[in-house]
Amino acid sequence: MDSYSVYIQSVASIYPEGEPVEGRFSINEPDYKEWIKEAGSRRRMSRIVKMGVTAGLQCLQNMAVKPEAIITATGLGCLADTEKFLQSIGSLNEELLSPTPFIQSTFNTIGAQIALLSDNKAYNSTYVHRAFSFESALLDGMMQLQTGNADSVLVGAVEELTPTVFYILERMGAWRKFPAGEGTSFFLLGNEKTHQTVARIVAVDMQRGNFSKDQLTQKRSDLLRRNGVSDARIVSEEMFKPICGEYQTASSFGLWYACTQLNGNGFVLITNSWLNNYTAVVIEKFTKE
């Protein structure tokens, strides 16, 4: 989707810090008690839910607006709870199963918990489109703003890495280029530029296919040209995945990286790939006034 002016007002991310261990990154977990006050709620939440909820609440911190839509994305969802529920089916012979792991394993758990903790009854949706999950959520948020359905939208992605998935995807060759990773990044979007604005989203693009390097370069050049961008800095996966690792929604961290770690103003092209899925996001970065 091209030619949309949507502004990023606030960002938050929980991501790995330090070097990978045995080919995988693990996030540096914050003190969840600071963000999820009720002890009973924290105990019921799995690790990925606490991670995503905390990043979402961090993104809303010190913001005067309440988002009129909450849109989350994940490639593989709440894996630890899914594994726990499936294992209990076998170990308990399909009898006396605890409903908690099943309830917590659903993909929309994170968005629902953010809504509950922030007392938000607005539009709430989750996208599970593999490597296109985050970009699909981002496009939905942009459309909510452009059609007038909302004036502010919270969009984020979250992914966790379990030993089982690490082993399976390692056998499939998923970690050949970058270490395995995990993390969560959230963005508060609005339709007007303010003194808090971090960047303007210019365009989002998704391509699936077995493209050559030259073909991808041409497609990205065409994306910039269609949106009137003559020159842009490139933030490629080679820049941000050595920090966050490889996972299906790592492009969300790439956007966070472009918003927070690059100096100066100007256009930025964030590119990402997962197998034969390719995404690109064009932003215009601002220095806060």
Per-domain boundaries in the chain: 6-190, 202-285
Residue 231 confidence (pLDDT)? 93
Residue 90 confidence (pLDDT)? 73
Domain 6-190 shares a fold with domain 202-285: yes
Distance between CA 35 and CA 45 in Å, rounded? 13
Distance between CA 255 and CA 258 in Å, rounded? 5
Domain covering 6-190, topology: Peroxisomal Thiolase; Chain A, domain 1 (3.40.47)
Distance between CA 288 and CA 265 in Å, rounded? 10
Tokens, residue 144: 């909510």
Residue 101 confidence (pLDDT)? 67
Burial class (CB in 10 A: 0-12, 13-18, 19+), 4: middle
Residue 4 confidence (pLDDT)? 56
pLDDT < 50: residue spans in the chain: 1-2
User: How many CA within 13 A on the CB side of residue 151?
Assistant: 6
Residue 2 confidence (pLDDT)? 47
Residue 289 confidence (pLDDT)? 52
Is 256:207 a contact under the CB 8 Å cutoff? no
Locate the DSSP E strands across 60-133: 69-73, 123-127
Residue 153 confidence (pLDDT)? 98
Distance between CA 66 and CA 174 in Å, rounded? 38
Listed residue (147, 127, 217) closest to 4, CA to CA: 147
Q: Which CATH class is domain 202-285?
A: alpha beta
Query: 55 — phi, psi (to 5°)?
Result: -65, -40
Q: What is each CA distance from 29 to 32, 41, 183, 205, in whole angstroms?
A: 8, 17, 10, 31
Tell me the longest C-alpha to C-alpha distance in the chain.
63
Tokens, residue 254: 């790439």
